[in-house]
Amino acid sequence: MTLHELTRGDFPILARVVNGHPLAYLDSAASSQKPRTVIEAMSQYYERSHANVHRSIHTLGEEATELYEAARDRVQRFIGAARREEVVFTRGTTDGLNLLADALCAGLAPGDEVLITEMEHHSNIVPWQLAARRQRLALRAVPITGPGLLDLDALDRLLTARTRVVAFTHVSNVLGTINPVADICARARRVGAVTVVDGAQAAPHLALDMSVLGCDFYVFSPHKMLGPTGIGVLWGRRERLLGLEPTRGGGEMIKEVWIEHAEWNDLPWRFEPGTPPIAEAVGLTAAVEYLEKLGMDRVAEHERALTRQALAGLTALPGVRVFGPPAGVERGAVVAFAVEGLHPHDVAALLDAEGIAVRAGHHCAMPLMRRLGVVGTSRASFSVFSTPAEVARLVRAVADVRAVLA
Amino acid sequence: MIATRGPYSEVIRERWRRPRFRRAPAGATLVAEDVNPLCGDRVRLMLRLDGGRVAEAGFVGDSCAICTASADVVAELVSGKPAAEARALEPADVLAVLQADIRPTRMRCVTLPLSVLAKALNGGGA
Ligand SMILES: Cc1ncc(COP(=O)(O)O)c(C=O)c1O
């Protein structure tokens, strides 16, 4: 049985008819759909166990706390983290990156350098800009080469004795490029820089193992991997987390509070002020269980096959330009493309009229768009429930859109 | 073949393929530009005023079919009009020409050229 045959019936939303056509949801890179088990786990939690977590001496409070902390254990195993206290729950990738930019840059001196890349999502650019402005840091970006790979020679040139942080994406949300995380981290370590990896597009598709990636921090968004919105994961190497001063205060992140000062709680709660996303953590557990049951290797293989099919189909169409690494180079489950003579929004609108959901625009990566010399692209992306028939529909529809507007 | 044309009416398709006012009028006195932060569409509107009238209007831009068609219609509708009348142009006036079924998510594509027009008539700027 192919993977989508196995999963298809588990996603209630896929039964929808959109504009008279069965929905072909090819926008999982923006946010994936959710299996029934995730939806039910969350409503069950609200129907049976909801209370605030920690410090509750009543039964429901204890159940909620257990469920919340069980999500941490589940994520720890899923990403190969050495210890549970290395897993911090945030509100999403963006939230995690803001937290890291604030905390990592707080102690830096004017003229210290932060290095990002040209292929970053705005959420891995703007938080560093804000921190750079506050601390008067220099913000630099590693360029990409023609085919959309990071220019590692340029990386070496940009790494200096003053580079304090190197923040980069594991998988590009536009190009699909899979960056060599361990290699980049090894180079960054040579100059003593801390490494931050944006795993938003990797966690849904690749088996992760923090013990071999070699980075100091890794962040991702469960809503892109079959889980709920509103929760994020920030993994940090224990020594690194211990070295960070919290930048956000509130309940839960403290041990003792006086009027003028406070003593921080232990890891990971030190970085989780306020009531956390509890139902979302429950949903996250169900999402991880779902993915583990399928097996991440099988998930990756399924999505690779769909990506290959889409690349081959779209590349063969006249007037269609496909972005990203050349065929044969492994990439994530996204295919960005442009149709000659058409604006990406019009492509997406015409595909939507056929029930096909793709994303169009700058994909929150304006510097990359500028580098590629386009205002935007259309982008199809795939998940465990995507099918070869949907990819075939996409390719046929893209072939047709030119007749309408071009 | 794609059967449904969504919002792409004959008028929009025609004006997207062959805009009539995509040009920079010589001696334009009022120039304004704006970007739709949602999609990155960019429209620049140029007006030559003569005795309180819009003697000539033109636009350039990087925008979708709906936005391009809207800019083309806006340029056409203001041409020859007194500035005060041009200022009173509303989305409904543009929609009436476009003859299209525009959903709320794409309304910004229709209204961007109108906000650029207001900016231009208020003295312009980027
Ligand atoms: C590479 C990358 N980084 C960061 C984000 C931001 O994720 P979120 O919106 O869940 O915070 C996204 C998703 O849009 C992404 O694709």
Residues 6+ apart with CB under 8 A from A191: A159, A160, A161, A163
CB contact under 8 A, B8 and A404: yes
H/E element holding A235? strand A232-236
Domain boundary among A291, A310, A325: A291
Q: What would the pLDDT profile of B26-65 be if each residue is shown by its tens digit? A: 999 999 999 987 777 899 999 999 999 999 999 999 899 9
Residue A200 beta carbon below 6 angstroms from any ligand 1 atom:
yes
Provide the domain limits for residue A23: 3-30+296-405
Task: Please check whether residue B4 lies inside any domain of the structure.
Answer: no
**Nearest-CA neighbor of A200 among A148, A140, A123?**
A123
Q: What is the CATH number of the domain that holds A325?
A: 3.90.1150.10
Domain boundary among A291, A308, A342: A291
Task: Please check whether residue A114 lies inside any domain of the structure.
Answer: yes
Residue-by-residue pLDDT tens, chain A, 406 positions: 799 999 999 999 999 999 999 999 999 999 999 999 999 999 999 999 999 998 778 999 999 999 999 999 999 999 999 999 999 999 999 999 999 999 999 999 999 999 999 999 999 999 999 999 999 999 999 999 988 999 999 999 999 999 999 999 999 999 999 999 999 999 999 999 999 999 999 999 999 999 999 999 999 999 999 999 999 999 999 999 999 999 999 999 999 999 999 999 999 999 999 999 999 999 999 999 999 999 999 999 999 999 999 999 999 999 999 999 988 899 999 999 999 999 999 999 999 999 999 999 899 999 999 999 998 999 999 999 999 999 999 999 999 998 888 7
Task: Please check whether residue B24 lies inside any domain of the structure.
Answer: yes
User: Is the domain of A219 the same as that of A120?
Assistant: yes
pTM: 0.93
Facing residue for A404 by CB, picked from B2, B41, B62: B2
**Nearest-CA neighbor of B98 among B38, B11, B8, B39?**
B11
User: Is the domain of A350 the same as that of A228?
Assistant: no
User: Is the domain of A252 the same as that of A302?
Assistant: no
Instruction: State whether the Cα torsion B61-B65-B70-B76 is positive or negative.
Output: positive
Residue A33 beta carbon below 6 angstroms from any ligand 1 atom:
no
Task: Please check whether residue B2 lies inside any domain of the structure.
Answer: no
Our count of domains for chain A comes to 2
Nearest CA in chain A to B12: A405
Residue B45's CB is within 10 A of a number of other CB atoms, namely 31
Provide the domain limits for residue B60: 10-121
Residues 6+ apart with CB under 8 A from A293: none
Task: Say what the pLDDT of residue B2 is.
Answer: 54
- Please give the Cα distance from A16 to A385 (Å, whole number): 14
Angstroms from A393 CA to nearest CA on chain B? 11
Task: Please check whether residue A218 lies inside any domain of the structure.
Answer: yes
Nearest CA in chain B to A343: B64
Task: Please check whether residue A35 lies inside any domain of the structure.
Answer: no
Task: Please check whether residue B126 lies inside any domain of the structure.
Answer: no
User: Is residue A150 a contact partner of residue A142, using CB atoms and an 8 Å limit?
Assistant: yes
Domain boundary among A245, A273, A291: A291
Q: What is the CATH number of the domain that holds B46?
A: 3.90.1010.10
What are the Cα distances from residue A197, in Å, to A42, A173, A392, B103?
29, 13, 34, 38
H/E element holding A334? strand A334-339
Task: Please check whether residue A134 lies inside any domain of the structure.
Answer: yes
Our count of domains for chain B comes to 1
Task: Please check whether residue B5 lies inside any domain of the structure.
Answer: no
